[in-house]
Structure 1
């Protein structure tokens, strides 16, 4: 009997079809650009950072892109539309706050209608970051962090999956973090939200494998994006609410929460002088495009992305081995093996 792999699983559901790239089972070569023509991709959080550069990259590779962001209208949306018009890119900007289930459902339904069916790819990129000791995070901060970083992707996946399952194909990409696999003291609730996203994504990957759907977890290291400016705003708001009975135990950490937003020019100079300065946010969408270019059934569950720092890779491998061992003899072990092998 043929050994069960994810490729044979997907073939059994009828989804082992032509790959994004011509190569059989491998990503497009570094010299060749992945061909995303005919693919519909919806991305959350495209006002800046990985989401914005990703929307442009996928569209330049031929995809039909639905670039979503909250609080429309806004200048970032106008700028994206102008670039799309000037370059004749297929980018549609749609309103989407991942914390609103009604808006998530409405926007994904609209995108599916415009795409003529199920989305080919859903990229959950929207996220928030702010640090500080766990004790000083009140329920407002906790709800905001988990509602955006965990419940937001859950909402979008639940909205997109029925059509993907009916078509028996699709790729869900969840942007996690190095801190979805290890913890840094003083990191607040960011790592807990990313740990939760990692677990939810992996479990989903096992459950949707029989439906011909794949899940990709992207784990970026540190990158120079606008996250620092937003982080400072969220931390200032939190610091203003911390009761003294909680703040008194962490005077230095709380003082850092009150620091003003960083000057973008100074941040850029500091980044250029550090090892992280060799990183470019385009690395993330490039990695996603590379994986999308692989034959269905051969894509990895996780991809660590950073030119210098990828400390989570050994953790990923140990986790993979443990999961495979635990799956032995399990009724659902066949799907674990199909995804991880």
Structure 2
């Protein structure tokens, strides 16, 4: 196994899992947002709106070579972003990738690597959807779609970029999870189920990639006024239309509200997420926190993150997996 000595202890001292989680998260959140990302090749999924759209423009303006991917090209959002890149001379490339499509994922990543002349420095797995309703009302069409997008899509993208990253011996994968990837709100459909799965898959990946010099940094946003709620309304309304009475009859008040969410009252600045990721990109490899909660309001996942880190280190820290576990949690 290649050396793991690249990861050094924060503050030059060995500390327990809980303290390390706090130290690394504090380091990420106290790191100034970099003014330059020059020399970085960054591939971002789901760039038609929301966090992805903000990241694509911001990182390109900071000098990065950005690959902004989205599905269903041609579309107005892609044309607008392409025109912006041309007008402002940004190194920003639009590539069609539907993360549920194996062929598009493989071809899109290959095209990005061709343009970049090598492996990606950063993959931001941002594409995701929500479909709200009680779990019983979630039919298999909705269930398969949300898992295929939020979990399997991230898996496809990671598998596509990892051979190049491993060959080079460096890289960063940033899955966009949610605080609902650690806590649960009733009637949110399978959203938490997919984000819990994404959290688990990403943490496992973080351990397995230690020998290859590749970091995984999970972002856990709270609620922001992006178009995610607009798209969620579309999917939820479609589900309500085809749902069967045998399942909906148990939840009449909840079902009546499906497809009618109003997220316009949210006031947090969506740039919090691109800024947090930029700060993490700027950190030295091996010091990036495994999880970073992002929101100016309550962050109920923090104690869960702390206790799970402590449990992982306590359970496997002295096993054969110990070097990987300790490297990720910087113990």
Compared with structure 1, are the counterparts of its residues 6 and 145 closer, same or farther at alpha carbon in structure 2 (3 Å cutoff)?
farther
Looking at structure 2, the residues matched to 63 and 322 of structure 1 have their Cα atoms a distance apart, in angstroms, of 38
Equivalent residues, number: 311
Cα distance change on mapping 1:121 and 1:32 into 2, 3 Å: closer
Alignment of 1:1-16 (within 5 A): 7-8=7-8
The alignment status of 1:289 with 2:278, answered yes or no, reads: yes
Q: Shift of residue 35 of structure 1?
A: 2.4
**Cα deviation 1:60-107 (Å, max 9, x = unaligned):** 111000000000000000111111122211100000000001110000
Separation of aligned partners in 2, 1:131 and 1:199: 22
Contact 1:94 1:107 in 2 (8 A): yes
Q: Which residue of 1 aligns with 2:314?
A: 325
Shift of 1:112: 0.5
Which residue in 1 is equivalent to 2:125? 124
Structure 1 window deviating more from structure 2 (76-85 vs 140-149): it is 76-85
How far 1:54 moved relative to its partner?
0.4
Cross-structure match for 1:304: 293
- 3-state secondary structure, aligned to 1:195: helix
Q: C-alpha displacement at 1:161, in angstroms?
A: 0.3
How far apart are the structure 1 equivalents of 2:31 and 2:105? 35
**Structure 1 residue 250: deviation in Å?**
0.9
Sort the Cα spacing of 1:30 and 1:168 in 2 relative to 1 into closer, same or farther, 3 A: closer
Normalising by structure 2, we get a TM-score of 0.90
Equivalent runs, 1:263-278 vs 2, <5 Å: 268=264, 270-271=265-266, 277=267
Q: CA deviation at 1:309?
A: 2.1
What is the rounded CA distance, in whole Å, between the counterparts of 1:293 and 1:214 in structure 2? 12
User: 1:150-299 to 2 correspondence within 5 Å?
Assistant: 150-259=151-260, 262=262, 268=264, 270-271=265-266, 277=267, 279-299=268-288
Unaligned runs of 5+ in 2: 10-26
User: For residues 320 and 203 of structure 1, what CA distance do their matches in structure 2 show?
Assistant: 12
For the 8 Å contact 1:34–1:290, the answer to whether it is kept is no
Matched-pair contact (CA < 8 Å) for 2:172–2:217: yes
| Partner SS, residue 239 of structure 1 | helix
User: Structure 2 vs 1, CA of residues 231 and 64 (structure 1 numbering), >3 Å: closer, same or farther?
Assistant: same
What is the TM-score when the length of structure 1 is the normalising length? 0.87
Q: Check whether the contact 2:36–2:62 (CA below 8 A) recurs between aligned residues.
A: yes
Given that 1:27 and 1:293 are in contact with CA atoms closer than 8 Å, whether structure 2 keeps it comes out as no
Partner of 2:217, secondary structure, is: strand
1:37 CA displacement = 0.6
Residue 86 of structure 1: SS of its match in structure 2? helix
Q: Secondary structure at the match of 2:242?
A: coil
* Deviation of 1:28 (Å): 10
- Which runs of no fewer than 5 residues in structure 1 stay unpaired? 10-25, 272-276
Q: Deviations over 1:132-181 (max 9, x none)?
A: 11001011000000000000000000010011001000000000000000
Q: 1:40 to 1:189 in 2, by over 3 A?
A: same
Which residue matches 2:326?
Answer: 337
Structure 1 SS opposite 2:278: helix
Aligned-pair RMSD on alpha carbons? 1.9
What is the alpha-carbon distance in structure 2 between the residues aligned to residue 29 and residue 178 of structure 1?
20
